[in-house]
Every structure is written in C-alpha cells, then in structure tokens.
Amino acid sequence: MTNRILLSVGLLAAGIVGGVVIASTTALHVSPSFPYVSTTAHQFAFKPRTDDQIPKTPFGDMVRLGENIFRDPQTYAAKYVGNDLHCTNCHLQAGRLAGASPMWAAYTAYPAYRSKNGHVNSYQERLQGCFRYSMNGKVPPLGDPVLVALESYSYFLAKGLPVGEDAPGKGFPALAKPAEPPDYKRGGEVYARACASCHAADGQGQSSANKVAFPPLWGARSYNWGAGMTNVKSAAAFIRANMPLNLGGSLSEQEAWDVALYIDSQVRPQDPRFDGDVQSTRKKYQNTPMSMYGQTVNGAVLGDPAVTPPSGTVPATAN
C-alpha cells in the first residue's frame, strides 16, 4: 500500500476517533444514525482523571512518565521492549477506556493470586508479565523506574475507586460461549472484510514515517505465545467490544470468536517459557481446548522453532 493510501486510511480512522470524542461529550447513544454500536462496557460512569489533572510535583512527573511509557514504550522503556506494540494498542485510550482492560480497574485489583504463575502477584509483578509476553521483551526488575512510573500512572487514574472490588468495566466484557465452535475459515473471511484494511492482509499492520499506524496482530513484531491475547476467549472478548476500531459491538459474537481463532492461528514469537518441546510446553502452559499453540495449521505446527521467531528480541542497541 502506498503512503498516500495509507495516509487516507489513517485520516479515516482519525475522523472516526474524532467522531467518538465529540459524540461522547454530548450523549453517545442518543444519535441513532451514529455508526458506533455501544456495548454496555463503555457506558460505565467511572471517569479516570485526565492529563490536565496531573499535578506539577515529583509524583506528577512519575505519572507523566508512566503515561509516556504506556503510549510509547519503544521510546521510554526501550530496553525492555521486543516488538512494535504499545500498551495503549490493547488498553485503549491510554488505559482509560472501560471494557478494554483499563488501568484504573487493574490497579485496585492487586495484589491478587494468578493461576498463570501460581502465587499472589503485586501490581509491579503483574506489570512485569506485560513486558515478558505482550511486549515480547525483557522483565524490568521490581522497583525499576519503568514499573514505578506505570504503577504511579495507574494509581493516578484509579483515584476514587474502592480497593479490592472488581470495578465495572474491568477487563473485557465476557462473551457467551459461541453457538458453533470457532472456525478458521469463517474467521479469515471476517478478517478480510473487517480488519485487513487497517491491520493489512498479512496481519503485519501498517506504518507511516517509521511510526506504527495500525499495530501488527501477528508475526515477529507482535505479542508472543505467552501473552493474554493468545487466549482465544480473551481475544474474542477484546475484539467484540473494541474492534473494528471505534465500531465495537458491530461484529456478531460468533464473528468475534471466529476472527479471534483466525488471529491466534498465525505465527508469532515463541513462548518465553518454551522448554525445547512444543507439545510439552503446550501441556505445561497452554493446555486449554481452544489454545492453538502446538496445533497444526496450514501444514505447520504453531510454536515449532522452525517457523517461530524467538521470544524476547530486544534490539542490542536499546540500552
């Protein structure tokens, strides 16, 4: 795609974003002609604080650094990042949007037990997992300014929420089980129709002037096989509530399941917990009926080192 076409797609997306911003300051759901089909997740009343409320103090500086990392970790946390994604690509509106796993709801939910690692995790430890898996990077040590900044930013957003209760809008709105088992072929059709214009037919996303305009959904520059988004259920829930961008709720539930399975049937960086054997790694860490890791798709075993980029590929120049 040429830069010119790419730019017009970008402007189109920006226009939609503008539409939502304007509409939401009035009342999103009163305009029947507005294309946005709101899911209940987006209607929760909690309003996280805005940038102009960040205090001009040393604490405020940390909050601002946290938001900068969240929006652009390649610049502000380069030595821990091994792909092209930003936190805000999945936690939309810089971690403020309900139903897109917002940081205010996350903050008040820790410390918490996680079955993923079998113990109670502090908030900083939860953040470490994001770097290891979603960012395909390296884990910042506890107490590292990168983690302190992200924690400060989340704390700032969460002001006014009760601690220890699941805030409405936390995570992604749950999806009912699909009527029919998710299907790769149907998912490919949804992808071509509703996703490829932005994320590209090959799933690698699109960049303009070295800036990622539309993030990669698979391939070496996307999240790895240990990431939460490789859970088809989580991906389906995220997609149904939030994609196509600003048209959340427009896919049917079945379409969301199908396209999530399609995305999670593609090549992506190795699970950093890989023990040298795909089936044994699947058994230890991915053993759910819907996980595609270790399954054969288009003649290749997903996770097979022969077709799988390595995990944790932080560039040597990032120090």
Reference 256, options 275, 234, 239; nearest CA is 239
| Alpha helix stretches (DSSP H) within 50-173 | 58-71, 73-76, 87-90, 92-95, 103-107, 123-129, 145-157
Nearer to ligand HEC, 202 or 277 (CB): 202
Nearer to ligand HEC, 54 or 229 (CB): 229
Strand partners, 119: 114
- Sole residue written with tokens 């053993």: 287
Q: How many residues bind ligand HEC (CB under 6 A)?
A: 46
> Interface with ligand HEC includes 41 (CB under 6 A)?
no
> Interface with ligand HEC includes 134 (CB under 6 A)?
yes
CA–CA dist 116, 155 (Å, integer): 24
CA–CA dist 29, 40 (Å, integer): 11
218: Cβ–Cβ under 8 A, 6 or more apart, which residues? Answer: 203, 204, 263, 266, 267, 268
> Interface with ligand HEC includes 42 (CB under 6 A)?
no
> Interface with ligand HEC includes 148 (CB under 6 A)?
no
At what angle are helices 58-71 and 145-157 packed, to 10 degrees? 100
42, 91, 96, 132: which one contacts ligand HEC (CB under 6 A)?
91
6, 62, 227, 314: which one contacts ligand HEC (CB under 6 A)?
227
> Interface with ligand HEC includes 92 (CB under 6 A)?
yes
> Interface with ligand HEC includes 147 (CB under 6 A)?
no
> Interface with ligand HEC includes 272 (CB under 6 A)?
no
> Interface with ligand HEC includes 89 (CB under 6 A)?
yes
| Cβ atoms 81, 318 nearer than 8 A | yes
136, 204, 224, 234: which one contacts ligand HEC (CB under 6 A)?
234
Which DSSP state fits 253? H
> Interface with ligand HEC includes 229 (CB under 6 A)?
yes
- Where does this chain bind ligand HEC (CB under 6 A)? 13, 70, 73, 85-92, 101, 105-106, 109, 126-127, 130-131, 134-135, 150, 170-171, 194-195, 197-199, 214-217, 222-223, 227-229, 234, 239, 243-245, 251, 259, 263
